[in-house]
Every structure is written in C-alpha cells, then in structure tokens.
C-alpha cells in the first residue's frame, strides 16, 4: 500500500534527523566544554544537512496529507512528525549558535566557572532528555518521555541561578566580561533546548497515546517508579 510505504519513509527520515540533531547537540556541548574549535566548525557545517532534511520531511508530510488523507493513528503520526521536525530544526539552530560562540570565545571555560554555574550538569541533563526523546520515538515508548518535564525543571533552576551568579563573576573577573557573556548566552540556549525537547515529548505522547498534553505538569504524569 502506497500510504504505508510513504509513512515508513517519513519515519526513517525523521529518525535520521533526530539522531543527527542529537549528535549536533552533543558536539556543541563538547566544543563548549573543551573550547575545541574543530568540533564547533563541524557542528556549523552540518547545519545545512539538517535544513535539507527538514525541507524533505515538510514536503513528505504535506504530500501524504494531500494525496492520502490519513486518519486515526496515521494522521496523528504525520501531524506529530511535522511538528517534531520543526522543533528539531530549532534545537539544531541552538546547537549551531553555541558552536559559533565557541569560535568567538578566547578559550575553554575555566573549571571553577563551569562548576559555579553547573554547566556540566546542565549539558548532561539536556542531552539525556534529547536521547530519551529519541529512544521514545524509535521504540514507540512514551514512558521514556513522561518525566522529561521534571528534568527540564533542573535546567530552569540552573538558568535562573545563573543570572545572580553571573553578576558576581563579572565583578570577580572584570577582564573576562566578553567570555562570561558568551557563557551566559550558552546557558540561555541550553535552557531553551530543554523547552523544545518538552515539546517533542508532548508530540510523541499525542501520536502514540492520542493524548494532548500542552503543558507537562507533574500532576498530569504517572508516578515515577525508578
């Protein structure tokens, strides 16, 4: 059946994009952590590939809707794929921005500053959220994303605390203001990525369980038994 064939192609394309974006985010965070300009350039170069995949997925979704008029779970999948694709592209944009900050920075962030701002905790949390979303999509297992919201709260907390801590750091290191501002901007980008991953989680739940969860508050979610 032609519809099934096109849905399979769409699924594979979206999985490819998800894996690529996850890799982009991991590389951007690694480049930021180490100050590695080569890794940062690799992220920037791959941005074009992601944009090309986005255009293909958008076109495939539109063609399926126009030509096959899918219903029920097939319709939910196409709608979710369209939205997830757009969200993935925005995550890739944030990874690209972080990579560009690395090229502008004078070197890697000092270990003391990274610890003060909880940067590794933040990047590790964001990457684990994105990987769980990838697994949930690939395995059609929404349970893997039900508690993404609680981890996003960690990103929000670090982001909020960073404002006060950044003022203190600028006072301590007045000669490193430009470097500190790039760090602050990176924290903002990672916090935004957390919000976008939450959106993907909502789309996965919508597609698989036919539940619309626009805001993933803890009270809406099953008890975490881990």
Token pair of 3 as six digits: 């519809």
In sign, the C-alpha dihedral spanning 47, 50, 52, 58 is negative
List pLDDT tens digits, range 114-124. 999 999 999 99
Q: Note if the pTM is more than 0.85.
A: yes
What's the pLDDT score for residue 1? Answer: 84
190 CB-contact burial (10 Å; exposed 0-12 / middle 13-18 / buried 19+): buried
What's the pLDDT score for residue 143? Answer: 87
Taking 50 as the threshold, does the pLDDT of residue 67 lie above it?
Answer: yes
Q: How confident is the model at residue 25 (pLDDT cuts 50, 70, 90)?
A: very high
Tell me how far apart the alpha carbons of residues 94 and 67 are, in angstroms, rounded to a whole number. 34
Tell me how far apart the alpha carbons of residues 64 and 74 are, in angstroms, rounded to a whole number. 10
Q: What is each CA distance from 3 to 85, 95, 99, in whole angstroms? A: 20, 34, 39
Q: How confident is the model at residue 107 (pLDDT cuts 50, 70, 90)?
A: confident
What's the pLDDT score for residue 147? Answer: 85
Taking 70 as the threshold, does the pLDDT of residue 28 lie above it?
Answer: yes
Taking 80 as the threshold, does the pLDDT of residue 220 lie above it?
Answer: no
What's the pLDDT score for residue 215? Answer: 52
Taking 70 as the threshold, does the pLDDT of residue 224 lie above it?
Answer: no
Q: How confident is the model at residue 26 (pLDDT cuts 50, 70, 90)?
A: very high
Q: What are the chain's domains?
A: 2-220 (1.20.58.220)
What's the pLDDT score for residue 75? Answer: 95
Overall average pLDDT of the 3-22 stretch = 95
Q: How confident is the model at residue 146 (pLDDT cuts 50, 70, 90)?
A: confident
User: Which of 40-44, 98-102, 139-143, 166-170 is least confident?
Assistant: 139-143
Token pair of 22 as six digits: 């996850």
List pLDDT tens digits, range 201-219. 999 999 998 887 765 444 4
Q: Considering the chain, what is the average pLDDT of its residues? A: 91
Taking 70 as the threshold, does the pLDDT of residue 103 lie above it?
Answer: yes
Q: How confident is the model at residue 42 (pLDDT cuts 50, 70, 90)?
A: very high
């Amino acid at each position: 059946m032609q519809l099934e064939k096109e849905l399979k192609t769409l699924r594979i394309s979206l999985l490819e994009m998800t894996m690529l974006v996850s890799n982009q985010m991991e590389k951007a965070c690694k480049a930021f952590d180490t100050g590695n300009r080569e890794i940062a350039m690799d992220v920037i170069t791959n941005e074009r590939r992601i944009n090309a995949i986005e255009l293909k997925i958008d076109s495939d979704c539109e063609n399926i809707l126009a030509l096959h008029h899918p219903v029920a779970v097939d319709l939910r999948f196409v709608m979710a794929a369209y939205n997830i694709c757009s969200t993935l592209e925005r995550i890739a944009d944030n990874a690209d921005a972080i990579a560009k900050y690395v090229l502008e920075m004078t070197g890697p962030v000092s270990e003391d500053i990274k610890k003060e701002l909880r940067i590794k905790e933040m990047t590790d949390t964001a990457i684990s959220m994105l990987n769980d979303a990838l697994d949930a999509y690939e395995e059609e297992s929404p349970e893997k994303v039900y508690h993404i919201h609680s981890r996003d709260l960690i990103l929000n907390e670090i982001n909020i605390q960073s404002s006060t801590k950044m003022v203190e750091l600028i006072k301590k290191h007045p000669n490193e203001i430009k470097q500190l501002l790039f760090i602050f901007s990176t924290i903002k980008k990672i916090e935004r990525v957390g919000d976008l991953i939450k959106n993907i989680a909502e789309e996965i739940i919508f597609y698989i369980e036919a539940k619309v969860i626009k805001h993933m508050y803890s009270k809406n979610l099953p008890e975490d038994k881990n």
